[in-house]
Amino acid sequence: MKIELAKTAGFCFGVKRAVETVYEQIRLHEGEKIYTYGPIIHNEEVIKDMRRHGVEVLETEEELDRINEGIVIIRSHGVPKPVCDRLDQKGIAYVDATCPFVKKIHNIVREESGRGAHIIIIGNSAHPEVEGIRGWAGYNVTVIENAQEAEGFIIEDRECRICVVAQTTFNYNKFKDLVEIIVKKGYDIIVLNTICNATKERQEEARDIADRVEAMLVIGDRRSSNTQKLFEICSDACKDTYYIQTLDDLDMNQLRSVETVGITAGASTPNKIIEEVQNNVGINF
């Protein structure tokens, strides 16, 4: 049995930074109430550990409205501008752990929409990162996720400049295809590929490994969009691809007859979980 672990598996720079920010705030503000706005990352195991340290997750703006003290940490996905404004108005201290690559997109869309551009975000409109980006883009903003939406995109003012950005975790090839459809419409358009390199590298390495192994394990939280995409990519290349959150989800029988197993993991999967899977797959064969 040969196990190949992707070098890019696990926490990316932005997630590591956000998680470290929370533990740093716990240390610095002992006895004070600490909140995160939304789960700091999409990983249930990490969130549970933070809860054990007294960190509370605020899920909605209503919940945010109810608090009058403490420190709020903004997650790596970022939040819409009105959330920051609300915290400022309430005089609640907050620590912005938005990934700098996401923050860069906030700045782009804020500046471009300030200059009158219509913003297109290529991404999943329900994803918190996209909701956040949208919340910095003013009113002229469209989210496009698939070819049908790209084909249907139209704005009345043909002179209006269009600025296209991408959700950082979007699949690069899909992004290229969607941009191609939009560019053909002949608008004055500027396209900024804001897909994070960490995502692209992770996706490419995952595909490479999945291409040459007999079974592939993708580790990550069910809600993590970048893990879901990794699973899609690996399933395309290797039909025996399994999506697991922790070692408990792994059915060893599924790997009985294979000789090579690849392992990758989403950006919000802690090393501890990856190592546990890697060690157990190794031991069991």
**Binding positions for ligand F3S, rule: CB under 6 A:** 12-15, 76, 99, 101-102, 168-169, 196, 198-199, 267
Q: Minimal distance in Å, beta carbon 10 to ligand F3S?
A: 11
Size of the chain in residues? 285
Asked if residue 53 belongs to a known ligand binding site, the reply is no
Considering the complex, what minimum distance in angstroms separates the CB of residue 129 from ligand F3S?
8
Query: Is 193 labeled as ligand-binding?
Result: no
Active-site residue (options: 4, 112, 129, 145):
129
* Residue 166 CB partners (closer than 8 Å, separation 6+): 121, 122, 123, 175, 192, 193, 194, 195
Determine whether the annotation assigns residue 271 to a binding site: no
For the question of residue 201 being annotated catalytic, the response is no
Nearest approach, Cβ of residue 18 and ligand F3S (Å):
7
- With a CB cutoff of 8 Å and minimum separation 6, the contacts of 209 are 4, 6, 216, 234, 262, 264
Q: Is 235 annotated as a binding residue?
A: no
Residue nearest to ligand F3S according to CB distances in the complex: 14
In this complex, which beta carbon is closest to ligand F3S, that of residue 56 or of residue 201? 201
- Per DSSP (E only), the strands in the chain are 2-5, 34-37, 56-58, 71-74, 93-96, 118-122, 141-144, 161-166, 188-191, 215-219, 241-244, 260-265
- Min. distance of Cβ 75 from ligand F3S in angstroms? 10
Q: Which is nearer to ligand F3S, 18 or 261 (CB)?
A: 18
Cβ proximity to ligand F3S: between 25 and 225 the closer is 225
Terminal C-alpha separation, the chain: 6
Contact 169, 132 (CB under 8 A): no
Determine whether the annotation assigns residue 225 to a binding site.
yes
Contact between residue 262 and residue 4 where contact means Cβ atoms under 8 Å apart: yes
Where is the binding site, in residues? 12, 42, 77, 99, 127, 168, 196, 224-226, 268
Catalytic residues: 129
